[in-house]
Amino acid sequence: MARCNSCGADLPDYYTSCPQCGSTSLSRGVSAAPPPPVNYGTIEQRKITTAGEWFLWMLLCGLLPVIGPIIMLCCTKDKSVKNFAVVYLIFYVISLILAGLIMVPAMMGYVEKSRQMSELYGLLLTVL
């Protein structure tokens, strides 16, 4: 450890000046060698997730909320738990239908807009 002769602050050995008072007058301890260099290694390239893999993840995440209520329906004898599972599944199906009613026209609009841009600018259509 180094010690500042002006303000008395304890500093690491590799400091050349005191960050508190700015003095360069430091008294060194036993070792004044700088710390060994840090080896950060190389940065690993992450594998790019394909569209098919994303689709499977989305499908899995979409089906996970359905698996629990189906297990509840099959395995429980409690009538209130079965009623909850039925209501949950009904709301899930309604939400899927509403999502389809919103997303399908939105995607159709996107495809139509990309076709117009392709014709207008002569670009290749990468969507279809």
Walk along the chain (128 residues) and give the pLDDT tens digit of each residue. 678 888 888 888 778 888 888 888 777 765 556 677 777 777 677 777 788 888 888 888 778 888 888 888 888 889 998 999 999 999 988 988 888 888 877 777 777 777 777 777 665 545 54
How many other CB atoms sit within 10 Å of the CB of residue 120?
Answer: 8
State the pLDDT at residue 44. Answer: 73
CA atoms within 13 A on the CB side of 3: 5
Whole-prediction pTM value? 0.41
* pLDDT of res. 83: 92
pLDDT of residue 124: 54
Helix axes 51-75, 79-121, angle to 10 degrees: 160
pLDDT value at position 31? 53
**Measured torsion, CA atoms of residues 84, 86, 89, 94, in degrees rounded to the nearest 10:** -110
* Matching residue, tokens 């400091």: 15
